[in-house]
């Protein structure tokens, strides 16, 4: 009888010990899940993780003005930049994303800009004709939205009617500067501003 009682006591003690270990493990897992979910809640409390917050704060995914935000610029001021020193472009638009060649000569600066009421990928070409002079010699703006005819009307208000037009392309003049508005392939309008190579 004593032997049976002793055996029963040992079985009960073993069962209770096993339950205690399992409960502790269960509580440990619950604690981990709680910590994980609270950490996740902290990360997502504003809907973004830390790297995404920087992206959201900048307003763009690319380097633009000096603070990384899209720069607002008028078409007239871009036309005026042609033939001017790169330092004037930086004063107007900020550093943007510069590109240099192997000799450390500046080739271009790219920006995200607000132009004619639309977001545009803007590129300024430097040292295109007069190598090493750091002059802005060409500008291109790829417009993210809008139709060609709407932009044609806007440019006509600024520069008068096109001097030429063909194949979804319109050519405007402002002094020696040529402004081309085009969408030849129907994949989105762009504006290209340039000066003759002999007047750069």
What is the rounded average pLDDT of the residues 17-33? 44
Q: Are residues 89 and 26 in the same domain?
A: no
Determine the 3-state secondary structure of 43 from DSSP: helix
Q: Are residues 66 and 151 in the same domain?
A: yes
Q: Residue 162 and residue 172: Cα distance in Å, rounded?
A: 5
Closest CA to 119 of 73, 156, 152: 73
Q: Is the pTM of this model over 0.85?
A: no
Q: Are residues 40 and 66 in the same domain?
A: no
Is residue 167 domain-resident?
yes
pLDDT at 98 over 80: yes
What is the rounded average pLDDT of the residues 80-108? 93
Closest CA to 35 of 46, 23, 25, 27: 27
Q: What is the pLDDT of residues 106-125, one digit of tens each?
A: 999 999 999 998 999 999 99
Q: Are residues 66 and 145 in the same domain?
A: yes
Residue 163 is encoded by which pair of tokens?
A: 């001097």
Q: Residue 150 and residue 99: Cα distance in Å, rounded?
A: 32
Q: Are residues 40 and 87 in the same domain?
A: no
pLDDT value of residue 106: 94
Q: Are residues 112 and 195 in the same domain?
A: yes
Antiparallel, parallel or unpaired: β 169-174 and 106-115: unpaired
Q: What is the pLDDT of residues 142-186, one digit of tens each?
A: 998 889 999 999 999 999 999 999 989 999 999 999 999 999 988
Q: Are residues 109 and 14 in the same domain?
A: no
State the residue range of the domain holding 127: 62-199
DSSP 87-128: HHHHHHH---EEEE-TT--EEEEEEEEEETTEEEEEEEEESS
Q: Are residues 101 and 33 in the same domain?
A: no
Please state the domain count of the chain. 2
Contact by Cβ (8 Å): 181, 148: yes
């Amino acid at each position: 009888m004593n032997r049976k009682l002793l055996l029963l006591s040992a079985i009960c003690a073993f069962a209770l010990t096993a339950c205690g270990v399992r409960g502790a493990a269960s509580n440990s897992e619950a604690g981990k899940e709680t910590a994980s979910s609270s950490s996740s809640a902290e990360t997502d409390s504003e809907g973004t993780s830390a790297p995404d917050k920087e992206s959201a704060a900048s307003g763009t995914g690319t380097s633009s003005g000096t603070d990384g935000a899209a720069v607002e610029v008028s078409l007239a001021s871009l036309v005026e930049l042609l033939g001017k020193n790169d330092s004037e472009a930086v004063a107007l638009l900020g550093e943007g994303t510069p590109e240099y060649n192997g000799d450390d000569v500046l080739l271009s600066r790219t920006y995200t800009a607000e132009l004619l009421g639309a977001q545009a990928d803007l590129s300024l070409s430097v040292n295109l004709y007069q190598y090493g002079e750091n002059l802005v010699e060409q500008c291109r703006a790829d417009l993210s939205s809008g139709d060609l005819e709407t932009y044609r009307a806007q440019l006509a208000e600024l520069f008068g009617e096109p001097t030429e037009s063909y194949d979804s392309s319109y050519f405007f003049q402002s002094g020696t500067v040529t402004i081309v508005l085009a969408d030849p392939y129907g994949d989105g309008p762009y504006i290209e501003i340039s000066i003759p190579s002999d007047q750069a």
